[in-house]
């Protein structure tokens, strides 16, 4: 009979220290050169258009930042490195140069103007920058790449430093190679950009951000590790206790900050509106607000004598149990108390509609859009301040 006790029956797997990857402001070692011998593009030489600002395009410095978009034949400046990286597989047929200020002062229109020049070259790939730490340039590169993808359906790649505002604005839509803040290691960065472009053209599965060198674009995908989670979490703790380097499997989130609006000078004359993301809706959910990943909101009038009657409402929200709110909706949207405060003159007016959506499992983009729309409606209706109640 097999008698094994837990202490001795299983082999203890050797703990392997994960490779430390410092993604703050350094480029990873090991440039990944695309394999020239694997010509997966079917032998056709790719037509490449390169976008540069006035400085890298050789027109001038800040004095030329208002330069209008112009087109030049062949590669210019860093474009030569782009050509070198593509080798036989691609030809930089044209370079579009535009002043950073010209672009920044009219982003939509400038993007269109640049796109028209790009289109004229019938490219297979667009390379923009890299912009390193230059903010206006980064935004231009991101905008051009995003439009090239959506309008022409071709791969477009750029490169920026982590603090470049273009990163947060465009990394979900565009592959952005991570660079240092200064324009060092230009050919290194360009090699990585070209590598991504070739993979996109060949429709190969893209490697992980840390491997290929681009900023994570925001997609989560499950993969299968070699060890179960229990083993990984114990090993990670032991590494941390020993002072060994470890790599967290989940990086911290990034959220933008907004400057608060100025407060109300006088509550007695203010109109206050109630907004909730607790999913309180009239029975039947007439606006079909989704219980999760909501894209819709509603505004619902209420009686200024009776407030909210539990028989008239339901809750559509997956993240909490609505039992108590269903018994008395005022526990989520405090209409009763606000009506009293209005009667007593503490506030000028209570807006007689409350706004509602569901904040469960929310998509940042959707919440942003809804927030903007709600804000507009409230302002149009003369509201000056908001109380938002969340679960």
Partner 1 sequence: MRLQLDILNIKDVQFGDGTRITDGVLYINRQELQEFLKEDKRLSRVDIELAHPGEKCRIIQASDAAEPRAKTKGGVDFPGALGKQGPVGQGNTCVLRGTAVVASEYRREGDPPMQPGFPRHGRIIDMSGPGAELSIYGKTHNIVLVPWPANEISVQEYRIALKIAELKTAVYLAKAGKDLKPDEIEVYELPAPSKIEKGLEHLPKVAYIFQFIPGQFETIPGYPVLYGSNASSIVPTILHPNEILDGAMVTPYRTMAIDVFGLQNHSIIKELYQRHGKDLCFAGVIITVGHGDERENERAAIMSANLAKWVLGADGVILTKSGGGIPEVPLALTAQRCEDLGVRTSVAITHYPADVGDADGSILFNAPEVDAIVSLGTPWNPITLPPVDRIIGEPAAFPEGPPVDGPIETTLRWMKGVLSQTGNSRLIAVRY
Partner 2 sequence: MLTKELERAGLPTAHICALTPVAQMVGSNRIIPAASVLHPVGDPNRDPAAEKAFRRGIVERALRHLHD
Q: Which residues bind partner 1 (CB under 8 A)?
A: 1-7, 9-10, 12, 15, 172, 206, 208-209, 216-234, 236-238, 240-242, 246, 248-255, 290-293, 316-321, 323, 361-364, 366, 391
In the complex, what is the shortest distance from the CB of residue 39 to partner 1, in angstroms, rounded to a whole number?
Answer: 26
3-state secondary structure string across 1-52: CCCCCHHHHCCCCCCCCCCCCCCCCCCCCCCCCCCCCCCCCCCCCEEEEEEE
| Nearest alpha-carbon partner for 158 in 131, 195, 137, 186 | 131
Q: Which tokens sit at 64? A: 């030329």
19 binds, among partner 1, partner 2, none (CB under 5 to 8 A by kind): none
In the complex, what is the shortest distance from the CB of residue 164 to partner 1, in angstroms, rounded to a whole number?
Answer: 18
In the complex, what is the shortest distance from the CB of residue 81 to partner 1, in angstroms, rounded to a whole number?
Answer: 27
Q: What are phi and psi of 241, to 5 degrees?
A: -65, -35
Cβ proximity to partner 2, 174 vs 274, nearer residue: 274
In the complex, what is the shortest distance from the CB of residue 366 to partner 2, in angstroms, rounded to a whole number?
Answer: 10
In the complex, what is the shortest distance from the CB of residue 339 to partner 1, in angstroms, rounded to a whole number?
Answer: 26
- Mind giving me the DSSP string for 70-117? EEEES--TTHHHHHHHHGGGEEEEEEEEE-HHHHHTTHHHHHHHHHHH
* Whether the Cβ atoms of residue 391 and residue 358 lie closer than 8 Å to each other: no
d(CA 156, CA 299): 42
334 binds, among partner 2, partner 1, none (CB under 5 to 8 A by kind): partner 2
Cβ proximity to partner 1, 83 vs 149, nearer residue: 149
In the complex, what is the shortest distance from the CB of residue 372 to partner 2, in angstroms, rounded to a whole number?
Answer: 5
In the complex, what is the shortest distance from the CB of residue 161 to partner 2, in angstroms, rounded to a whole number?
Answer: 23
Which residue do the tokens 């837990």 mark?
A: 6
Cβ proximity to partner 1, 255 vs 262, nearer residue: 255
* Whether the Cβ atoms of residue 69 and residue 114 lie closer than 8 Å to each other: yes
* Whether the Cβ atoms of residue 136 and residue 183 lie closer than 8 Å to each other: no
| Nearest alpha-carbon partner for 308 in 336, 350, 289, 279 | 336
Q: Name the site residues for partner 2 (rule: CB under 8 A).
A: 253, 255-265, 267, 270, 272, 275, 277-278, 320-321, 323-325, 327-328, 330-332, 334, 336-338, 340-341, 346-347, 357, 359, 362, 364, 367-368, 370-372, 374-376, 378-379, 383-391
18 binds, among partner 1, partner 2, none (CB under 5 to 8 A by kind): none
Cβ proximity to partner 2, 99 vs 278, nearer residue: 278
Cβ proximity to partner 1, 168 vs 180, nearer residue: 168
d(CA 337, CA 63): 61
* Whether the Cβ atoms of residue 339 and residue 304 lie closer than 8 Å to each other: yes
């Amino acid at each position: 009979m097999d008698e094994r006790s837990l202490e001795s029956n299983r082999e203890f797997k050797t703990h392997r220290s994960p490779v430390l990857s410092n993604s703050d402001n350094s480029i990873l070692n090991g440039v990944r050169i695309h394999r020239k011998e694997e010509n997966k593009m079917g032998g056709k030489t790719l037509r490449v258009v390169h976008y540069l600002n006035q400085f890298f395009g050789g027109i001038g410095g800040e004095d030329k930042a208002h330069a209008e978009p112009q087109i030049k034949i062949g590669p210019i400046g860093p474009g030569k490195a782009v050509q070198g990286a593509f080798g036989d597989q691609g030809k930089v047929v044209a370079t579009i140069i535009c002043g950073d200020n010209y672009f920044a002062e009219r982003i939509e229109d400038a993007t269109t103007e640049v796109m028209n020049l790009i289109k004229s070259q019938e490219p297979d790939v667009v390379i923009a920058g890299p912009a390193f730490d230059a903010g206006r340039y980064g935004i231009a590169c991101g905008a051009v790449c995003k439009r090239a993808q959506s309008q022409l359906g071709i791969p477009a790649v750029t490169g920026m430093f982590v603090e470049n505002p273009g990163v947060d604005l465009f990394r979900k839509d565009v592959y952005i190679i991570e660079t240092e803040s200064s324009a060092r290691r230009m050919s290194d960065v360009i090699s990585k950009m070209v590598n991504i472009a070739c993979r996109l053209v060949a429709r190969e599965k893209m490697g992980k951000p840390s491997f290929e060198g681009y900023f994570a674009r925001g997609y989560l995908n499950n993969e299968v590790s070699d060890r179960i989670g229990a083993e990984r979490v114990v090993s990670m703790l032991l590494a941390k206790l020993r002072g060994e380097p470890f790599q967290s499997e989940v990086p911290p989130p990034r959220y933008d900050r907004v400057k608060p609006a100025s407060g109300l000078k006088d509550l007695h004359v203010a109109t206050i509106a109630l907004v909730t993301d607790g999913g309180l809706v009239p029975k039947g959910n007439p606006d079909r607000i989704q219980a999760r990943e909501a894209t819709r909101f509603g505004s619902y009038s209420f009686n200024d004598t009776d407030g909210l009657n539990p028989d008239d409402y339901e809750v559509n929200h997956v993240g909490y149990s609505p039992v108590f709110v269903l018994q008395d909706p005022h526990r989520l949207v405090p209409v009763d108390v606000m009506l009293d405060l209005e009667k007593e003159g503490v506030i000028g007016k209570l807006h007689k509609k409350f706004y509602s959506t569901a904040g469960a499992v929310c998509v940042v983009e959707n919440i942003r859009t809804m927030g903007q729309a709600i804000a507009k409606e409230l302002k149009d209706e003369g509201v000056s301040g908001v109380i938002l109640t969340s679960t």
